[in-house]
Structure 1
């Protein structure tokens, strides 16, 4: 690591895995006396090594562009890496039409084996998988078992349909996962991310047609992703609210003059936004890199009336800018996120874009958000006009090619520009 670095690991409930890591973080502050500490959280990775690799690549880019960022030379930087037990999301970019049923079944079985924690549930799902194409009873049991892996509740702008997902008849849930129906009580409409072939982004013909979502096994894979989504959503919020927020409080109490800057990728963006709302420590900047939560997460009156986003207070709590990279190239947030939401509530509306009520912030930026501004992710050397309490949605189509592509020099330049703006 090219900057002073330490890490703190949390469990799924936001508790410290090793409390001595707090002492190590405080020692880093004492030894290096940084002016600015960057606290960074990964998203859906399944190993600590993947997270560390992400952090190292991002830090490499920050160091490389440092001479080009005004005021950066006078800052003493240190990094605290957050580790938390996230779950690997299925690789949406690799899904699509053309896969044989045997290939799809093998992929489903691999994803169940990797991402279902409870051994008994995992074995029962694996036993059901080969029968899904021929047995409605197997489909019903599969849906019922997946429901046991879900959290008890899901709050937020996209949480209204969670109850429908947990209570609708299994046949309706499976039909929705295939792109061919809507859950009872949810308005139906034509088109939309739930009726897309994720490989080619082409709408399926009315009433069906060839594509990933026409396969029962493919629908089952999608439902496994939905269960992963809701588990990750709850866990990221818990880790941010109970774990990272406490870490920030402690760092600030130990070294009150050190500015704290938060960076979160994917569901790590949700964790960092939750921490921003919960902490009593001042946050100097917040960088959300392809964050996985609703584009109304920081909104006021997102429903056209009185409903505010779950994180509506975040902009007022960040002294400097909040920057958000977003791109249509992100299939994980741009497609899987609205599919996950619509399977629970509203099938086939929009394309995951800004007109989609269940769109993601990593796809569209922050909508209906106080202090919100639209911009572009700039090349190294560009000029950002960041100011206090700004929320900048940076169109990253030109530089970010997919969900995990968040460590390039343009991203490092934007993050460091946010850091030095305060």
Structure 2
């Protein structure tokens, strides 16, 4: 439909329009008429809330998440009797972009397809496979698919070829934002091995072992299937599913940047152009944080963004650094700090498996604000901002994600504040997983940023 998809009730008979703008994988806007209406409304508003989702790639799920966040935010304002700016006229805009990537079971959203967890698992594998092979020639795609189809584990020879096909398709050029060199085949294999064999060292060997799934009518348990999956002679297992995870993360990371630069950047430029004084608040989750950071970093803005809240951001922890370790180059998003009025708030949690334990392996070959090294699992250089504190942390204070009602210190010259959601609250973490970002703690962080300016 053209125009807002929802009216979010504010209380006392007032409401705010929610617009959803869809972008394709190349960052091209797919909702031009709705975007025109959204920009017009945003320029006349007092406050604009622009959201970008992370791994959730389904339109209906993204819509539901945006509505839940907005309604929770509004209800918290009512409960805490928080003030609003004078003549408050908010407009909400949600970005929709294709963002399928690997998500472990405990961090997934609800199963949409009717067929149970096994069917959902296979569907995710097929989506990842389609995303990766869409970047290959037809000949390379056919070879890639034939190598991994039906295999539980690949031997060294086949794994090398799979890695080379995937690397050539996804990492043929340096990272657009970080200008770091793409990984070589050895780097891809070592990262792949670290994910498939988390408790075993990477072993060089040549024997080519390929196994196939047992017949579907033969019962088995998850434990026995794992124990009976053969490994290569040297003990190293290369799981095809883990290769898809690596390729999918690389693909989505690059896509998020492209959507930000090509799609969201011009939207921000129009909203913040002269003639409007709307306060713009940006909220990005996971790779959605990269969408918004890339948009701001590449934009030519007449005015500054008012605030930015990054929820479990899937970006490198050096991205805001004055100088990336071992280089004289600033982090790729350092410039963003000059374009946001308030300190940037970024949440992190040790309970976020994808960002605390997986991200640094998947992107270790070359990425924004990273240098090219050989060590596997280097969280110091490759850790995600949503899993670890920002580097050069002397410049960037950190603390706990606060309970609703407790004041954040947003004054002074601070530019980034890292908020730890790992702490236990009533027996549960404030942020218990990668997708656990729609809760009173995150709503309160946005309230702190979006509070009306104090009178001089």
TM-score bracket relative to the smaller structure: 0.7 to 0.9
Per-residue CA deviations over 1:280-308 (Å, capped at 9, x if unaligned) read 23211111000001011111123155232
Q: Tell me the equivalent position of 1:239.
A: 259
In structure 2, the residue matched to 1:256 is 276
Quick check: 2:187–2:374 contact (8 Å CA) kept in 1?
no
> Is the 1:266–1:292 Cα contact (8 Å) retained in structure 2?
yes
Deviations 1:291-349 (A, max 9, x none): 00101111112315523211111111111121001111111111110121347743445
* Matching residue within 214, 220, 224 for 2:244: 224
Matches within 5 A, 1:176-325: 176-177=194-195, 178-179=197-198, 180-181=200-201, 216=237, 219-253=239-273, 256-281=276-301, 282-303=304-325, 306-325=328-347
1:74-133, Cα deviation, whole Å (9 max, x unpaired) = 4432210011111132316489xxxxxxxxx99986543121224766665454333463
Residues matched between the structures, number: 378
SS class of match (1:288): strand
CA contact (8 A) 1:324 1:366 kept: no
- TM-score, normalising length from structure 1? 0.78
Structure-1 separation of matches of 2:260 and 2:269:
12
Question: Structure 2-normalised TM-score?
Answer: 0.73
Would you say 1:150 and 2:170 are equivalent positions?
yes
User: CA distance change for structure 1 residues 384 and 136 in 2, over 3 Å: closer, same or farther?
Assistant: closer
Relative distance call for 1:170 and 1:298 in structure 2 (3 A) is closer
Distance 1:414 1:324, change over 3 A: same
Post-superposition Cα deviations, 1:178-220, rounded to whole Å, max 9, x if no partner, equal 3555699xxxxxxxxxxxxxxxxxxxxxxxxx9xxx7735x33
Separation of aligned partners in 2, 1:303 and 1:29: 40
Q: Provide the aligned C-alpha RMSD in A.
A: 3.4
- Matched residue, 2:222: none
CA distance in 2, matches of 1:223, 1:402: 23
In structure 1, list runs of 5 or more residues that go unmatched.
96-104, 185-209
- What is the alpha-carbon distance in structure 1 between the residues aligned to residue 27 and residue 394 of structure 2? 29
Contact 2:52 2:283 in 1 (8 A): yes
The offset of 1:227, in angstroms, is 0.8
Q: 1:417 to 1:144 in 2, by over 3 A?
A: same
The change in CA–CA distance for 1:171 and 1:362 in structure 2 (over 3 A counts) is closer
Contact 2:321–2:391, Cα closer than 8 Å, also in 1: yes
1:14 is matched with: 27
Deviation, 1:163, is 2.5
Partner of 1:328: 350
**Counterpart in the other structure of 2:112:** none
- Determine the structure 1 residue equivalent to 2:420: 395
Q: SS at the partner of 1:380? A: coil
Summarize the Cα distance change of 1:52–1:319 in structure 2 as closer, same or farther, 3 Å threshold: same
Q: Relative contact order: is structure 1 or structure 2 higher (C-alpha 8 Å, sep ≥ 6)? A: 1
Equivalent of residue 98 in structure 2, options 82, 85, 104: 85
The alpha-carbon distance between structure 1 residues 51 and 272, as it changes in their structure 2 partners (threshold 3 A), is same
Do the aligned partners of 2:191 and 2:361 also contact (CA within 8 Å) in 1? no
Higher Rg of the two aligned structures: 2
Residues 403-412 or 135-144, more deviating: 135-144
CA deviation vs aligned residue, 1:138-179 (integer Å, no higher than 9, x gap): 333432333354143343898746332xx3388656545435
Which position in structure 2 is the counterpart of 1:35?
A: 46
Structure-1 residue corresponding to 2:223 = none
Which residue of structure 1 aligns with residue 389 of structure 2?
A: 365
Q: Compared with structure 1, are the counterparts of its residues 162 and 107 closer, same or farther at alpha carbon in structure 2 (3 Å cutoff)? A: farther
Distance of 2:189 and 2:270 partners within structure 1: 50
Q: From the two aligned structures, give the one with the greater helix fraction.
A: 1
Contact persistence 2:315–2:385 (CA under 8 A)? yes
Check whether the contact 2:308–2:345 (CA below 8 A) recurs between aligned residues. yes
Which stretch of the first structure deviates more once superposed, 336-345 or 128-137? 128-137
